[in-house]
C-alpha cells in the first residue's frame, strides 16, 4: 500500500510511540492478558492511521467536458445556489463528504489552467453544516478548461480536519485526475458547475476521486 507524503511524519511518530509503549510494557514483565488489553486497541489505531494516509492509484478516463470527483466520499448536496466568491451568480453545487475512513487525496476535477486560487482561514463546523462552505477553513480553486468553461471547487475543513494542503497555484496548467491537495481527517469538497450542466450522480451516491463522473458541461 502506497503511503501519501502528508502521512510520513505522522506515521513515523505513531510507529515510535507504539513501539515505545509496547517495549515499555514488555520490559516491565506485564502479564500477557494486560499486554493484549492495552496493545490491541493501540494496534488498531495504528492501522487506521496508516489506512487514512493511503494513496491508491487513480485513473481518469478524461471524458470530454466531463467533471470527475475530486475526492472519495458520498454525495451529500446537489442544488442550485448563489456562488458569491468568484462567479457571483447561480451555479449547481455538488458536495462530497469524506469520512475519516475515505482516501483523503484531492484531485483536479478537470484539465486546464488554474485561473483563481485563494486560501481562507475560518471556523471548524462539522463538514455537513450548510455554513461550512463559507465559514470554515477552506481553499477555493477555479480551473478554466480548453473551451473557456470554469469549474470552481473548494476543499473544506471539518470539525476534526484542521489542516488543508494544496499543490496548485494560479496560472498552473493541470491535468484531470492529478493530485491537487490533501485534507487531514473528516472533511468535504464542494464543486460548482454552470447551470444547464448534466449531473451524472445522485444524492447519497458513493464516488471515487478521478474515476466517478460527476457532471458533463456544454
| Active site members | 187
What is the DSSP pairing of strand 105-107 with strand 164-166? unpaired
To which H or E segment does residue 32 belong?
Answer: helix 32-52
Tell me which residue of 186, 141, 192 sits closest to 167, measured CA to CA: 141
Distance CA 15, CA 9 (A): 10
Distance CA 29, CA 41 (A): 19
Distance CA 105, CA 181 (A): 6
Distances in whole angstroms, Cα of residue 65 to Cα of each of 130, 150, 170? 28, 11, 21
Q: Are 2 and 55 in contact (CB under 8 A)?
A: yes
DSSP-derived 3-state class of residue 133: helix
Distance CA 156, CA 139 (A): 7
Amino acid at each position: 500500500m502506497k503511503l501519501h507524503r502528508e502521512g510520513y511524519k505522522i506515521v513515523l511518530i505513531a510507529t515510535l510511540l507504539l513501539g515505545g509503549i509496547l517495549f515499555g510494557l514488555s520490559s516491565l514483565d506485564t502479564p500477557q492478558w494486560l499486554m493484549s488489553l492495552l496493545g490491541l486497541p493501540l494496534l488498531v489505531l495504528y492501522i487506521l492511521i496508516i489506512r487514512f494516509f493511503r494513496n491508491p492509484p487513480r485513473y481518469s478516463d478524461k471524458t470530454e467536458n466531463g467533471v470527475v470527483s475530486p475526492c472519495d466520499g458520498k454525495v451529500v448536496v446537489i442544488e442550485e445556489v448563489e456562488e458569491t466568491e468568484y462567479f457571483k451568480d447561480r451555479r449547481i453545487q455538488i458536495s462530497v463528504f469524506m469520512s475519516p475512513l475515505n482516501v483523503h487525496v484531492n484531485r483536479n476535477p478537470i484539465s486546464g489552467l488554474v485561473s483563481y486560487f485563494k486560501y481562507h482561514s475560518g471556523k471548524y463546523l462539522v463538514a455537513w453544516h450548510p455554513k461550512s462552505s463559507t465559514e470554515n477553513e477552506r481553499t477555493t480553486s477555479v480551473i478554466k478548461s480548453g473551451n473557456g468553461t470554469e469549474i470552481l471547487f473548494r476543499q473544506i475543513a471539518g470539525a476534526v480536519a484542521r489542516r488543508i494542503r494544496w499543490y496548485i497555484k494560479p496560472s498552473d496548467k493541470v491535468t484531470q485526475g492529478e493530485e491537487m491537495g490533501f485534507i487531514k481527517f473528516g472533511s468535504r469538497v464542494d464543486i460548482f458547475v454552470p447551470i444547464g450542466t448534466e449531473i451524472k450522480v445522485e444524492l447519497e451516491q458513493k464516488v471515487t476521486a478521478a474515476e466517478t463522473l460527476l457532471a458533463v458541461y456544454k
